[in-house]
C-alpha cells in the first residue's frame, strides 16, 4: 500500500461519513473509537488540502464550499484555497498544503500540465491525489479523477444548439428542418483537458450537419486552436465574437443563427457582442441567435428564463463534491475508490481511473424541474439572477 496514513480515526470517520450518508445521521456509536462524540463531529480524521482554480466563477466557489462541508461533516480538517487563475499561486498553495501535513489532496487545476513538481512531492510523501473535474496531465502522480462525462457534455451542448435552431426536437430526433443555418464555434481553455472533450463531443454532433450543408460556419474558424478561449475568459470570447461579427456579418446579408458556447461565462460575453456589435435584438423570440452554455450559473439561468440565452448544461456540483469526498475518504481508509471509467482519461502518462457523473440540458421550460425543485437554485435567485 502506497499511502502514508491509515489512521484509526480516519477510518472511523470514513465509515461514519458513509453511514451518515446512508441513514441521515446517528452514525456515531460503533465507529467512535476516539470517544469524541458522534461520528459526524470527529476532528481527528486528518487534513485534506482542496485546491480550486478561481473565485471569479461561482461554480468553483460552490464546488469548494461543498467539498469542504462534506469533508468537515465526515470529521476532516480542510485547507481550501482558490488560486485566482494564477498558476504560480496554485503551485504555491499545493506546496503549502504538503508542508502543512495534508493527508490527501483534491485538486481542480488551472493548467493541467503545470503541477508535476508539486504532485511528485506529494507522492513522495504518500499523499493520495484526486483530480477534481479537470484532469491533471503529464504525471503519474494522480490517483483518481472525479468529473462529469465531458464528451457527453459537448454532445449535449451541440444537441441543444440544434434544438434551438429547429433541426432537432427536444427528444433529439430530427425534425426534417434542413436549414441552412449559420453558426460560429467557441471552445474553452486549451490548457484545460476538459475543453477538448467538450469540443470533440460537440463536433461529433455538428460535423455531419456541416458536411451536409445544414450548418455552415461563415468565419471559417472550425479548428480547436482557432476557437479556443484561454482561461475561459468572458472578455476574450466577447472580443473574438465582436471581431467575427465585424469581419463576416455586420453590413452584409449574412445572418448568424447560433453559437456553440461551452461555458456560461463565455456565453454572456458572446451575447453582449451579439447585441451591441452585431445589432441583434435582446431576445430569441425577436431574433437573438441561439447561444448554448454550461454550468447553470445563476446569471445565465436568468438569461435563459428571460429568453436571451437558449440553453446551458447542468452539472450538479453537489454530486461531484460528494464523489470527491467519497474518494478521499476511501484512500484514507486504505481502499481504492470505486471507478466507473477506466478507459477514457489518459493523462499522457497513464489512464487515470475515473468516476464520471451525468449532466442535463437546461432550457427555459425545465429550469423549475432541474434547478429549483432539486434545490440547486431558489426561485428568487433565478428571478434576480444572483446567488443569495
Q: Quote the least distance from Cβ 13 to ligand GAL, whole Å.
A: 29
> Which residue is associated with the grid cell 472578455?
235
DSSP assignment letter at 146 = E
Query: Quick check: 162 and 292 in contact, CB under 8 A?
Result: no
Q: Checking DSSP bridges between strand 360-362 and strand 312-314, what pairing results, if any?
A: antiparallel
Q: Which stretch binds ligand GAL (CB under 6 A): 44-52, 186-194, 214-222, 233-241?
A: 186-194
As a whole number of angstroms, the distance between CA 85 and CA 259 comes to 26
By beta-carbon proximity to ligand GAL, the closer residue of 60 and 249 is 60
**CA distance to 165, 196, 202, 346, 358, per residue, from 343 (Å):** 34, 17, 20, 8, 17
The residues in 277-296 that bind ligand GAL, with binding defined as CB under 6 A, are 294-295
By beta-carbon proximity to ligand GAL, the closer residue of 161 and 215 is 161
232 binds ligand GAL (CB under 6 A): yes
Identify the H or E element spanning 328: helix 317-332
Q: Which three cell numbers stand for residue 85?
A: 487563475
85 binds ligand GAL (CB under 6 A): no
From residue 115 to residue 154, the character string flagging contacts with ligand GAL as x (rule: CB under 6 A) and all else as - is: ------------------xx--------------------
Q: Which three cell numbers stand for residue 290?
A: 441561439
Phi, psi of 135 (to 5 degrees): -70, 135
Q: Quote the least distance from Cβ 57 to ligand GAL, whole Å.
A: 5
Contact with ligand GAL (CB under 6 A): which of 11, 59, 77, 296? 59
333 binds ligand GAL (CB under 6 A): no
Q: Quote the least distance from Cβ 60 to ligand GAL, whole Å.
A: 7
Query: Quick check: 64 and 50 in contact, CB under 8 A?
Result: yes
Q: What angle do CA 64, 69, 72 make, to 5 degrees?
A: 125
As a whole number of angstroms, the distance between CA 329 and CA 170 comes to 40
| Number of neighbours of residue 15 by Cβ within 10 angstroms | 18
# residues contacting ligand GAL (CB under 6 A): 12
Query: Quick check: 102 and 360 in contact, CB under 8 A?
Result: no
By beta-carbon proximity to ligand GAL, the closer residue of 156 and 194 is 194
Q: Quote the least distance from Cβ 288 to ligand GAL, whole Å.
A: 23
Contact with ligand GAL (CB under 6 A): which of 58, 192, 242, 316? 192
H helical segments located in 252-316: 264-276, 298-305
58 binds ligand GAL (CB under 6 A): no
Q: Which stretch binds ligand GAL (CB under 6 A): 188-196, 213-221, 222-230, 319-327?
A: 188-196
From residue 17 to residue 56, the character string flagging contacts with ligand GAL as x (rule: CB under 6 A) and all else as - is: ----------------------------------------
57 binds ligand GAL (CB under 6 A): yes
- Provide the binding-site residues for ligand GAL, judged by CB under 6 A: 57, 59, 133-134, 188, 192, 194, 232, 263, 294-295, 315
Amino acid at each position: 500500500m502506497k499511502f502514508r496514513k491509515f489512521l484509526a480515526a480516519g477510518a472511523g470517520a470514513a465509515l461514519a461519513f458513509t453511514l451518515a450518508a446512508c441513514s441521515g445521521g446517528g452514525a456515531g456509536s460503533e465507529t467512535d473509537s476516539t470517544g469524541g462524540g458522534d461520528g459526524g463531529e470527529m476532528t481527528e480524521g486528518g487534513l485534506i488540502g482542496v485546491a480550486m482554480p478561481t473565485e471569479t466563477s461561482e461554480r468553483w466557489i460552490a464546488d469548494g464550499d461543498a467539498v469542504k462541508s462534506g469533508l468537515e461533516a465526515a470529521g476532516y480538517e480542510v485547507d481550501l484555497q482558490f488560486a485566482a487563475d494564477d498558476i504560480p499561486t496554485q503551485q504555491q498553495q499545493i506546496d503549502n498544503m504538503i508542508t502543512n501535513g495534508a493527508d490527501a489532496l483534491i485538486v481542480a487545476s488551472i493548467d493541467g500540465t503545470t503541477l508535476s513538481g508539486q504532485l511528485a512531492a506529494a507522492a513522495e510523501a504518500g499523499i493520495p491525489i484526486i483530480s477534481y473535474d479537470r484532469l491533471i496531465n503529464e504525471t503519474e502522480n494522480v490517483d483518481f479523477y472525479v468529473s462529469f462525462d465531458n464528451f457527453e457534455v459537448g454532445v449535449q451542448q451541440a444537441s441543444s444548439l440544434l434544438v434551438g435552431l429547429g433541426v432537432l426536437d427536444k427528444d433529439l430526433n430530427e425534425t426534417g428542418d434542413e436549414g441552412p443555418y449559420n453558426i460560429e464555434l467557441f471552445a474553452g481553455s486549451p490548457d484545460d483537458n476538459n475543453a477538448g472533450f467538450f469540443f470533440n463531443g460537440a463536433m461529433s454532433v455538428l460535423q455531419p450537419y456541416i458536411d451536409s450543408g445544414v450548418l455552415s460556419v461563415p468565419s471559417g474558424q472550425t479548428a480547436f486552436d482557432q476557437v479556443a478561449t484561454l482561461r475561459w475568459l468572458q472578455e476574450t470570447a466577447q472580443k473574438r465574437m465582436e471581431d467575427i461579427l465585424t469581419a463576416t456579418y455586420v453590413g452584409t446579408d449574412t445572418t448568424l443563427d447560433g453559437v456553440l458556447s461551452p461555458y456560461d461565462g463565455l456565453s454572456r460575453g458572446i451575447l453582449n457582442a451579439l447585441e451591441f456589435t452585431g445589432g441583434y435584438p435582446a431576445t430569441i423570440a425577436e431574433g437573438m441567435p441561439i447561444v448554448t452554455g454550461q454550468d447553470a450559473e445563476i446569471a445565465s439561468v436568468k438569461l435563459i428564463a428571460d429568453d436571451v440565452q437558449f440553453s446551458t448544461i447542468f452539472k450538479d456540483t453537489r454530486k461531484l463534491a460528494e464523489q470527491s469526498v467519497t474518494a478521499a475518504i476511501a484512500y484514507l481508509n486504505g481502499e481504492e475508490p470505486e471507478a466507473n471509467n477506466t478507459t477514457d482519461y489518459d493523462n499522457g502518462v497513464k489512464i487515470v481511473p475515473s468516476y464520471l457523473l451525468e449532466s442535463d440540458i437546461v432550457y427555459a421550460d425545465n429550469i423549475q424541474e432541474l434547478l429549483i425543485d432539486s434545490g440547486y437554485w431558489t426561485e428568487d435567485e433565478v428571478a434576480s439572477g444572483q446567488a443569495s
